[in-house]
Amino acid sequence: MKGNLEDKSMKYCTSSKHFQALASILLLLAPEVLFAQYLPTPDYNPLKIRVNLIIVQRADGSGNFQDNPADRSFLRNMMSVTNGVFADLTNRNEEYYPGQNLPFLSNAKLEFVPNILFVKDETGWNNRNDTNPSGVPYLSGWYLDSLDQQIYHADTLPKAINLYFTTDGQVYEQMVVKATTTDYNRLVFFKQHAASEIPVLNTRASIYGQYHTMRCHVGNVWLKLWWKRNVLHEPDWTMEYEVGESIAHEIGHLMGLYHTPDAHIHALMRTKFGGLRDYMTTREIATVHQMFGRYPSLWQFVPAEVNYGSAKADWVFAEAQTWKEDRRVYANIVIKTGAILTIQGLLLMPSNGTITIEPGATLLIEGGLVRRFNTPEPEAFGHTGDVGWKPTPPSPYLQESRDLDQAGVLRLSGNGKIEAAILGIVSGE
Ligand SMILES: [Zn+2]
């Protein structure tokens, strides 16, 4: 049943730029220490990720879910299924990777927070107007681009992954309005629900690595639900599971995951439909968390205050390391005595995160910028050049630098900046 959808996804997956992206992900994950850094342990808070469920109705409001308690309940339950996939995984390591003694995590620590939007759009409502034969909402040229741009740029809406729910207008007319057929399965154009893009890292080679909208096309959910209710007389939960799991798979793509072997029948990222969608490898979990650290278009969907809230999540530096690339972290940074952390790119901290520079440690902002994610625009710290710890005049930004002997060193060079009023840097014990 999922063949049509997966054909679309496969086409998208096999373009060369995505192999490049895959290669860079694998390279970045190669050192086991880095792999471990992105692996959420059971005491982590989940990464909260906003998603918009965009219900595209006809101009007269018909042809899709309605803004009423029953339909909202279906959509909420559907997203509970999606969240349940990531929060309650089953260990199938020995079944799929026998003898490898792979680590296993039952909770991927990913939570999707839905916001339901009802919009009227006479053209967009009908997914037969999607002239792209692959059905994938590529970054440009998709039939819902202008609606998507309106939603993505709306000041009143926080940035979210946009899931577009549309209807096959022809089948709607025949089955729901005129009641001349009940053969949904044979007549529907998009057989299964969803297709989405795969992100690429922010490299010079990719112009798509910057902030942009990310969306997923979820076709015919309401129409198939109508058919199940009125023709098959099935309870709603069968459709809640079917779609909730499809959405988990498609969001998996949006978060950087590729297809896995069909023999792994319960794997989330298996191409074919079917199976319980209850298995992810720890490497897949690490990949997703790494993507949220490294990929700007995923940063924007996580609220500023989100913090793994676990000491195990802290980035602890015990020796010299240089961060050249832009990065958002969801944890504190601790630079141990004798270590030097050099920041050459953008470093985004949680609104409640701290950077600790222990005595004898150094944070060197070398042409980089450190700021909190929720500060609207980068703003100069006010000093450039070497700063060190200067107790006078008291700085509102570098707090509790108790005395010079105990403090670590903060040095700004090469136009390096820490944005105003963003950091309480505390010298360690
Ligand atoms: Zn897929």
pLDDT (tens digit per residue) in 59-83: 999 999 999 999 999 999 999 999 9
Distances (CA, A) of 67 to 75, 119, 149, 244, 406: 11, 10, 23, 19, 60
CATH code for residues 3-299: 3.40.390.10
C-alpha of residue 231 to centroid of ligand 1, in Å: 29
Asked if residue 177 has pLDDT above 50, the reply is yes
C-alpha of residue 328 to centroid of ligand 1, in Å: 27
More confident residue, 371 or 150: 150
Burial-class residue 340 by CB neighbours within 10 Å (0-12, 13-18, 19+): middle
- Parallel, antiparallel or unpaired: strands 327-328 and 346-349: parallel
Written in H, E and C, the secondary structure of 400-412 is: CCCCCCCCCEEEE
pLDDT digits (tens, 9 = 90+) for 315-359: 999 999 999 988 999 999 999 999 999 999 889 999 888 888 888
The pLDDT > 90 percentage for the chain reads 58
C-alpha of residue 8 to centroid of ligand 1, in Å: 8
C-alpha of residue 9 to centroid of ligand 1, in Å: 5
* SS3 call for 328: strand
CB 351 within 8 A of CB 304: yes
C-alpha of residue 130 to centroid of ligand 1, in Å: 19
Separation CA 32–CA 30 (nearest Å): 6
The domain ranges of the chain are: 3-299, 311-427
How many CA atoms does the CB half-sphere of 269 hold within 13 Å? Answer: 21
Sign of CA dihedral 38, 39, 41, 46: positive
DSSP 27: H
Report, as an integer, the average pLDDT of 353-368: 88
Separation CA 14–CA 12 (nearest Å): 5
Average pLDDT, the chain: 81
DSSP 140: S
C-alpha of residue 37 to centroid of ligand 1, in Å: 27
Sign of CA dihedral 69, 196, 172, 143: positive
Residue 335 is inside which H or E element, if any? strand 333-335
C-alpha of residue 285 to centroid of ligand 1, in Å: 16
C-alpha of residue 332 to centroid of ligand 1, in Å: 34
C-alpha of residue 249 to centroid of ligand 1, in Å: 6
pLDDT digits (tens, 9 = 90+) for 274-319: 788 999 999 999 999 999 998 888 999 999 999 999 999 999 999 9
Asked if residue 381 has pLDDT above 90, the reply is no
C-alpha of residue 23 to centroid of ligand 1, in Å: 18
Tell me the residue length of the chain. 429
C-alpha of residue 263 to centroid of ligand 1, in Å: 15
